[in-house]
Structure 1
Amino acid sequence: MRPLREALAGFRRAPLLCGLSIGAVGLSLVILGLFGLVAHNIGAAISDVERRVEVVGYLLDDASPEQIRVARRELGALPAVEEVRYVSKTEALANARRDLVEFSNVYGDLRVNPLPASFHLRLREGFRTPQAAAGVAGGLAAYPFIEEARFGDEWVERLFSLRRLATGTAVALGSGFAIVAVLLVGTAVRMAVLARGEEIEIMQIVGARDGYIRRPYLVEGAITGLAGGLVALGVTRLAYIAFRTRFAGFDGLDGFEALAWLPDVWVGGGVLAASALGMLAAAFSVNREVGRAYGA
């Protein structure tokens, strides 16, 4: 309890300096929080598109109900397949009339339905790659009553490339922002420790042990980092709310209303990491200050 009491006493003795330190820590982490918010939503958007990846197999007209039933059961048991949906010829024509309005007159005058029945296979997460989709399409095409199986290989390849590019960019930029945040947090906490260098020297003169001297500063650094992390969290949340409110209802921008907030794990981990970072920065600074006093 003594380290906590002395850390709180240190905040009371120099509230302005402590406030500046917390503000500096918070502002340095805001950039990282905003980047995390953008990266999370980009990743969620790509994942949403990936969930729509399907392998489609078109059936011959002479496929029997028993063949369809057996094939549907076997395809649904594949490790890569999440869902198998069968679209009959009648349903395919109804979908075409609904979705292709410009051809409604053509489809409305038909006496014979020219559209084939089809299987639509949705892939599981982790199997939405060009290789996995090609493998499922090959297995589907092996059935003798399947006329053609396709999955839009060029589109899937581009989507997979976009995922790799987004991941690489996020790692590179996130690492850069994290390094800058670490340096700024370390500088802010170090300034607070250096401002009380005389206090450390006096404690050494009266015979206080190093551990006795360091512990209050470690607690103070942890509290400073925690407070700065909460400030960054609050500013990031306000920016998120303001952004959604600003673009809500704009024509063509309805997607902004679906922007997702950061996952709870990210939020909790970020605040705890800020606290740990503040404590590490305080440990480094007070160790240097204690060593300098001994050297003097």
Structure 2
Amino acid sequence: MSKYVGVLSCLSIFLLIIVGCNQKDELLKENLTGELILSTPVSSLQKDNKGLAIFKPSLKKYEIMLNDQYLSSPTLNRKKDKVLARSTTKIVEYDMKNKTLNVLYIHKDNTIDNISYIPTQDSISFTAYENGRENIYGFNKNSGSNNILIKDIYGSYSWSKDGRLILFGRRSKAENGKYKYSVNMYNINMGKEETLFEGYAPQYSNNNQYIAYKEANASNIDNILVIREITTAKEWIYKSNAIYTYRFSPDDNYIAIEQQSRKFASKDYEIIVWDFKSSKKDVLIETITRGYNTGFDWK
């Protein structure tokens, strides 16, 4: 009898190991608020990956719009009734209520990226290169004027919700020849810049209580994402093979991360959602065809 009990015990342990190894840190996607907007991720949704895709996590459904346009770097306004996007050298704005597409700005080359509405203003911002250096530009939609806000940044940037502060990255060479990276803050009203900590490509949370950024001292500078609580300096760390765009959920309980696909031998991309306080994560968008990882927004 004891022999059979021993066999059953071993079998139970074996089954527990199998179950434990196959458990996933799944999230209830029904709890995810808002919607993501991105370039059409796979050709099965739209021929030639044209158009923009609205993805609603709670419904797990796509809605395709502007399916005759090649667009990238989309971003929604706070009301979610207009979207900015890049079309080669142009910045366009699509009014989703009136179904109208207008060209706002034409740049001299195709280095435009990181397009954003400036909070509390009727203006937009974007990055572009000038003499090999990346700058942040502001463009007034009413007057049609544009100007450089910050010169020689590195990576993406992010506005505070009141439109007074910009977070951005800088890169410089140290005495040992290696690069140093820093997250900086610029006060628009005061014209004052402040270095905050090491890192780059910062993103404010919607409530401005957290900053997500890439770690500067990693062996591969694109594979570690850090979320820092501003008031306490508490940090949560996420590691992957390669990390690209990331955006906080509208309620700031999660962050969506565009990264290299974890499928074996895959060259495509995916978007995962991370509950950074509980360390749970799950796949949000399983496949983004290589070459179409052109950024996304979540509002």
- Establish whether TM, by shorter chain, passes 0.5: no
- Name which one, 1 or 2, has greater alpha-carbon Rg: 1
Give TM-score scaled by structure 1 length: 0.17
Q: Relative CO higher for 1 or 2, CA cutoff 8 Å, sep ≥ 6?
A: 1
Richer in helix (by share): 1
Give TM-score scaled by structure 2 length: 0.17
